[in-house]
Amino acid sequence: MRELEFLPGWYPRLRWRRRLMRWQLYLSLVLLLGLGMGMVRFNAVLSNERQRVGWLSGKLKDTRQVLAKLDELEKLDTQLKTQQRVVEKIGLHVEATRIVNALEGAMSKDMSLLNLSMEVFEQQRKPGSLKELSATVASSSGKEKAPLLVDRTLKVKVQGVAPTDVELGNFLNQLRNNSLFETVNMNYARERAQNGHAMREFEVLFSVNLNTQD
């Protein structure tokens, strides 16, 4: 016997469409869940990157501050070198002023200067300090220009007159006790008549170290 079908023809299609909608709903939920997890992971990575960017920004700020300080130190070093060159150029005039003042302080009121002469002597020397040796080694490798190591000495000749040998002796002792002067020696001392008075004419030699002190 032929089985009778009581279901209408559209009913199977309706069930198939419902199953299809369920699968679409499941797939949509899975897709949304995946997107949600991806967003959570993305936000976590983004948060870490923001923290890293903040840390790098802090390091960059510190580096800029260090570079600014280095620039200031470099400018200061340039200024000091410029001042050193200026001092080396005018050093003789400064020492000459100090010498004249020291001589006036050592002389009694009855003594007089007849002549004062100064002459600078320069002699090249070998590097003695570790700093000078390092500079010489660096220059030999071609990194920088070798510094010229020179001993500079100011030779001074003083001619004058003193009333007595006592005042002349006191004058010599004060010169020898002055740390500015080196190798103070009497070249000669002889009698000299001036305005009917017997005086002691003398010539004193000494030197002044003009080397730049580090």
Please write the tens of the pLDDT for every residue from 116-128. Answer: 998 888 887 765 5
> Given this model, what pLDDT does residue 30 score?
85
CB of 204 within 8 A of CB of 158? Answer: yes
Query: Is 139 within the bounds of a domain?
Result: yes
Query: Is 66 within the bounds of a domain?
Result: no
Query: Is 51 within the bounds of a domain?
Result: no
> Given this model, what pLDDT does residue 204 score?
96
Mean pLDDT in runs of 10 for the chain (214 residues)? 58 77 85 85 85 86 86 82 62 71 90 89 68 50 56 89 92 93 93 82 92 59
Query: Is 95 within the bounds of a domain?
Result: yes
Query: Is 138 within the bounds of a domain?
Result: yes
Query: Is 132 within the bounds of a domain?
Result: yes
For residue 158, the enclosing domain spans 75-209
> Given this model, what pLDDT does residue 137 score?
47
Among candidates 94, 93, 102, 112, which has minimal Cα distance to 177? 102
DSSP for 53-81? HHHHHHHHHHHHHHHHHHHHHHHHHHHHH
pTM of the model: 0.49
CATH code of residue 182: 3.30.70
Query: Is 9 within the bounds of a domain?
Result: no
Q: In 10 A of CB 175, how many CB atoms? A: 20
Among candidates 158, 152, 149, 182, which has minimal Cα distance to 91? 152
Query: Based on the structure, what is the number of domains in the chain?
Result: 1
Query: Is 160 within the bounds of a domain?
Result: yes
Which tokens belong to 23?
């699968």
Place of tokens 């010229």: 148
> Given this model, what pLDDT does residue 8 score?
67
